Amino acid sequence: MNNVYIYILVMAAVTYLIRALPLTLIRKEIKSPFIRSFLYYVPYATLSAMTVPAIFYATKNIWSAAAGFVVALILAYMRKSLLTVAAGACTAVFLIELFMV
Amino acid sequence: MSQKRNAFREGLKDGLPICLGYLAVSFAFGIQAVSTGLSVFQSTLISLTNLTSAGQFAGLGIIAASGSFLEMAGVQFIINLRYMLMSAAISQKLSPEVSTLKRLGIAFGMTDEVFGISAARPGMLEPAYSAGAILIAMLGWTLGTFLGAYSGEILPAGLISALGVALYGMFIAIVIPVARDDKNIMITAMAAVLLSSIFTFAPVLNTISSGFRIIIVTVVSAGAAAILFPVDDAEEGACCE
């Protein structure tokens, strides 16, 4: 495991370059309506794609994960904070797993 | 000047829920890092220098499997490529006068959640606001990793399983309130969910790695949305019927 620090360096360097290049290189307003619209929709498309279906495999079984998913959807729809939504989802998973054993 | 300090304080305030959410997720990361064979220091160092959830979890897998450095670089590139799109989006919210040094600082903290609150900030984004949000988010992410790495093994398995959904809970909390107000975002998000599920389960398509899957789904659904529902500057961030 002597290479661990090289792994960490590679991870950090690649991740940082990805974040830093657009912010330092793009200094003017992008005029293209297509690119502007595309960038507007990107975060919501990415976060949605990352969440489903991955969330259903994030816990010990799919039913507890589904409960966490539904609770998170309801709390988020009610405009609760990040913390409330995350904590509510975790609590739902914990309780379902407790009762399913 | 006092305006600057207010922006910093508002960044801290908006970043606090992110910090607390990160505590839970990075706690899970710390547990997993130590069980992979990393020391507490190495686990914490990864979180301090990377500040990214999906990329770090994937990185652990490569370290555990003694993968090549090239593979590590490739996987990080694919999984984190979405940050390039987010950074490009935020570049449009910065005044052209913002210095390179400040841009480099904002870039370091461009996580999904920090992006979420930065994009939602009305008007131009003040670097002081980003500084506040990023500092407190980093604190949560790094401290949580340390605590998880240090004490994770004594936690009951049920608690660790429950922490597994914390990250996704945060993602949902970012998307749903905005989707509720803008039906085009709702459609985009649902298209992304559908495509992502197809790519996960359909034969042949399911051989595509998860990092590539996220990129393809993002480009296709956000691209289609940009063509079908172009955003006017006037209505950007505003509520649609």
Rounded Cα distance, B113 and B123, in Å? 18
Does A50 touch chain B if contact means CB atoms closer than 8 Å? yes
| Residue whose entry in the numeric block shows the structure tokens 């090289």 | A6
CB distance B201–A23 less than 8 Å? no
By CB atoms closer than 10 A (0-12, 13-18, 19+), residue B140 is buried
pLDDT above 50 for A87: yes
CB distance B63–A7 less than 8 Å? yes
pLDDT at residue B241, rounded to an integer: 31
ipTM: 0.88
Which residues, in sequence order, are CB contacts of B110 under 8 Å at separation 6+?
Answer: A19, A23, B83, B86, B87, B90
Quick check: helix, strand or coil at residue A79?
coil
Rounded Cα distance, B51 and B109, in Å? 7
| Residue whose entry in the numeric block shows the structure tokens 């939504």 | A85
Q: How many beta-carbon pairs below 8 A join chains A and B?
A: 309
Rounded Cα distance, A51 and A93, in Å? 16
Rounded Cα distance, B76 and B234, in Å? 36
pLDDT above 60 for A8: yes
Indicate the domain borders of chain A.
4-100
Would you write out chain B's pLDDT as a tens digit for each of its 241 residues? 567 779 999 999 888 878 887 887 898 889 889 988 999 999 999 999 999 987 898 888 889 888 889 888 988 887 788 898 889 989 989 999 999 999 999 999 999 889 988 987 888 999 999 999 999 999 999 999 999 999 876 778 788 788 878 878 888 998 999 999 999 999 999 999 999 999 999 999 998 877 678 778 988 999 999 999 998 764 444 433 3
Taking CB atoms and an 8 Å cutoff, what residues of chain A touch B62? 7
By CB atoms closer than 10 A (0-12, 13-18, 19+), residue B167 is buried
CB distance B218–A45 less than 8 Å? yes
Quick check: helix, strand or coil at residue B123?
coil
Asked whether the beta carbons of B185 and B178 are under 8 A apart, the reply is: yes
Does A100 touch chain B if contact means CB atoms closer than 8 Å? no
**How distant is the alpha carbon of residue B147 from its chain centre?**
21
**Element at A100 (helix H, strand E):** helix A82-100
Q: Backbone phi, then psi, for A59, in 5-degree steps? A: -125, -170
What's the farthest any 2 CA atoms get from each other in chain B?
58
Closest among A51, A6, A50 to B49, alpha carbons compared: A6
- CA B185-B187-B192 angle, to 5 degrees, is 95
CB distance B227–A89 less than 8 Å? no
Asked whether the beta carbons of B94 and B77 are under 8 A apart, the reply is: no
By CB atoms closer than 10 A (0-12, 13-18, 19+), residue A101 is exposed
Q: What's the token pair of residue B5? A: 């300090």
Rounded Cα distance, B165 and B49, in Å? 24
Does A2 touch chain B if contact means CB atoms closer than 8 Å? no
- Distance, in angstroms, between B189 CA and closest chain A CA? 5
CB distance B87–A7 less than 8 Å? no
pLDDT at residue B2, rounded to an integer: 67
CB distance B55–A11 less than 8 Å? yes
Asked whether the beta carbons of B168 and A90 are under 8 A apart, the reply is: no
pLDDT above 60 for A1: no
pLDDT above 60 for A51: yes
| Residue whose entry in the numeric block shows the structure tokens 């480009």 | B219
